[in-house]
Structure 1
Amino acid sequence: MNSSSLLKGTLQTIILKLLENKAEMYGYEITQKVKEITGDKIVLTQGALYPALHKLEAEGLLETHTQTVDNRIRKYYRLTTEGQNGAKTQLKEAQDFINQLQMILNLKPNFS
């Protein structure tokens, strides 16, 4: 799917939604879940994902902790209380936008 500009505008909402559904996730897990859900049509790159995660963390919407798994340190992300509220708000805004976009895209040309 070649829609990186569309993805860029929705990446934070995608992350918040995934973390709303699952208590915590690490970065690679997020990328794989998006690929799985979309049938490989949306592939998140590390270059897009980690800046978005860091921004959400800086805004107080995410908190992190690390854990050693198979001798590797894994950084897990989870929603803060503010992040849970932010997720609900962003998801509502995204749904409203999708509904409005759908109305525009379904317009039929007026041949009067």
Structure 2
Amino acid sequence: MLSKEFIRGTIRTIILKLLAQNKQMYGYEITQHVAQLSKNEIVLSYGALYPVLHKLESEGLLVTTTEVVDNRARKYYALTSEGKKVAKAKVSELQEFNKILTSILNDSKLSLKTSAA
């Protein structure tokens, strides 16, 4: 499983991307999608997911609706028009960052040699 540090830095963009691809999703569905797409390398806890969802909602990037499914209320999240714009920008920004990071990590001048003590 990947470091929580990396996940923390990308969870917002991951959520925005998933919601941009889907009309609406509920929390458990988001966690399962992420686990499936990452082959269980990224496992989002509810303690990590819901604060981000609430923050995105408070910023006006998400709207919520509640539906009753099997006698239980299920809260669905969907992007607002502003949320769609931000999602596109954040995904593009992360893709550019990944290119730069890959370039740095593939630089043959940067070797991770350890010196013998």
- Tell whether the structures are fold-level matches, with TM greater than 0.5: yes
Moved over 6 A (4+): none
How far 1:110 sits from its partner (Å)?
6.9
**Residue 41 of structure 2 aligns to which amino acid in structure 1?**
K
**Residue 100 of structure 2 aligns to which amino acid in structure 1?**
Q
**Which residue number corresponds to residue 95 of structure 1?**
95
**SS, match of residue 40 in structure 1:** coil
Counterparts of residues 1-112 of structure 1 (less than 5 Å): 1-109=1-109
Distance 1:56 1:100 in 2: 27
Instruction: State the percentage of identical aligned residues.
Output: 54
Deviation digits for residues 39-68 of structure 1 (CA, Å, limit 9, x no counterpart)? 111100000000000011011110001000
Distance 2:97 2:39 in 1: 23
Distance 1:76 1:110 in 2: 46
**SS, match of residue 41 in structure 1:** coil
Distance 2:73 2:56 in 1: 21
**SS, match of residue 102 in structure 2:** helix
Distance 1:108 1:73 in 2: 54
Structural RMSD (CA): 1.3
Distance 1:110 1:46 in 2: 38
Distance 2:13 2:51 in 1: 14
Q: Mind listing any 5+ residue stretches in structure 1 that lack a counterpart? A: none
Structure with larger Rg: 2
Question: Under a length normalisation based on structure 2, what TM-score does the superposition of the two structures give?
Answer: 0.92
Distance 1:35 1:29 in 2: 10
Question: Under a length normalisation based on structure 1, what TM-score does the superposition of the two structures give?
Answer: 0.96
